[in-house]
Amino acid sequence: MTIENRLSGPLPDVAAEAGHTGHPPRVGFFTDTSVCIGCKACEVACKEWNNVPEDGLDLLGMSFDNTGALGANSWRHVAFIEQERPLGDQSPGLAGLPTGASAIDVTTAFVAEELREAPRGGGGLGTSPLPRAPEDLGMPSFDLPGAKTGADGRTDFRWLMASDVCKHCTHAGCLDVCPTGALFRTEFGTVVVQQDICNGCGYCVSGCPYGVIDRRPGDGRAQKCTLCYDRLHDGLEPACAKACPTDSIQFGELDELRERAARRVEDLHERGVPEARLYGHDPSDGVGGNGAFFLLLDEPEVYGLPPDPVVPTRDLPAMWKYAGMAASALLAAAVAAFGGRRR
């Protein structure tokens, strides 16, 4: 291991670098979003186990996501994305129906006209909602549900669901900037806040390139996922992984999870889901790879994840170099100010 890799770059044994000897293997999460059903059991299990307080019962008016983002009081967050696009080989099942897309334009238009006249607007076929006054359900679709009847109301459509969590980075921005030592690297290679040390300076909040950690209002201390540090000590898997009914959240040794994830992506590509990709698995990325990484079905930013995060610490030597130059200039200017002839 080279000295420069202590600030960024691949780091094969992160716990040893932090000073742990004879430590257990590095653990993490592999979140396979292709099997996430958006049940939010992970969010609930996390809150229950870790005693995370409620963060307000808000209706955000966007999709089925009313948690919104990770934060001091949400250590798991299930993102919901509605897209007009079929998922893999999935068929919306419209092609064979009377007003389906397989018909030529003229017939489509003709049949749609007829359907509108028909009792229940052709809704009996199960192909479109009943014709009635549209109701705004507050869904971020492009039209009101029920606004269109007939062929033009039929869409290809998919849900993307993904349970987001702290990434437990190899080079953790929050950990690097913590001035009290409250944030530390555990023997499992995870990153945890010691609540008896944190004085709520808030530096970690701005240090995280994923916007994960936050200060809890009223409490004043920084809070985030601990990867259930207490459960790990007792040989248990984290609460969210335990609760996940589809094994979308998989807990295990990081090396093994990475192999499993690579196989899963290959498998999905073979099955005709070319958009499947891994996120955060690569030890040569800007944060040295994540302890919690993901299989995504679209670009990371669609899930609210940064496409190419870099730990701010990478540029630390350059920053101090510029600060040193500016400081020297100030000192020189002060000396010159008094050295001049003017009195």
Partner 1 sequence: MSEDPLLREPRSDAQAADRRARTFGRRKRGGSREELMVPRAEFRSYYGRPVLKPPVWEWKVPAYLFTGGLAAGTSLLAAGADLTGRPGLRRVGRTGSLAALLASVYLLVADLGRPARFHHMLRVAKPTSPMSVGTWILSAFGPGVAIAAAAEVLPAGLRRSLPGRLLRAAARPAGLSSAIVAPAVASYTAVLLSQTAVPAWHEAHAQLPFVFTGSAAASSGGFAMALVPVEQAGPARALAAFGAATELVAGKVLEKRLGLTAEAYTTGKAHRLRRWSERLTAAGLLGTLLGHRSRALSVAAGTALFAGSALQRFGVFEAGVESTKDPKYVVVPQRRRLEKR
- Establish if 4 lies at the interface with partner 1 (CB under 8 A): no
Q: Between 134 and 217, whose beta carbon lies closer to partner 1?
A: 217
Instruction: Please identify which residue in 213, 225, 239, 292 interacts with partner 1, judged by CB under 8 A.
Output: 213
Report the nearest approach of partner 1 to the CB of residue 167 (Å).
Answer: 12
Q: Between 130 and 197, whose beta carbon lies closer to partner 1?
A: 197
Classify burial at 293, counting beta carbons within 10 Å of its beta carbon; exposed 0-12, middle 13-18, buried 19 or more. buried
**Distance between CA atoms of residues 101 and 154, nearest Å:** 9
Report the nearest approach of partner 1 to the CB of residue 217 (Å).
Answer: 9
Q: At 306, is the secondary structure helix, strand, or coil?
A: coil
Closest CA to 293 of 279, 282, 275, 283: 279
- Establish if 305 lies at the interface with partner 1 (CB under 8 A): yes
- Establish if 178 lies at the interface with partner 1 (CB under 8 A): yes
Pairing between β-strand 27-32 and β-strand 249-253 as defined by DSSP bridges:
antiparallel
Q: Residue 217 phi/psi, 5° resolution?
A: -60, 140
Return the range that interacts with partner 1 (CB under 8 A); candidates 94-102, 118-126, 207-215, 251-259: 207-215
CB of 269 closer than 8 Å to CB of 276: yes
Instruction: Please identify which residue in 10, 25, 68, 100 interacts with partner 1, judged by CB under 8 A.
Output: 68
**Distance between CA atoms of residues 179 and 111, nearest Å:** 69
Among positions 77-136, residues that touch partner 1 (CB under 8 A) are 79, 81, 83-86
Question: And the tokens for 164?
Answer: 């987001």
Instruction: Please identify which residue in 131, 200, 252, 283 interacts with partner 1, judged by CB under 8 A.
Output: 200
- Establish if 280 lies at the interface with partner 1 (CB under 8 A): no
Instruction: Please identify which residue in 222, 232, 243, 261 interacts with partner 1, judged by CB under 8 A.
Output: 222
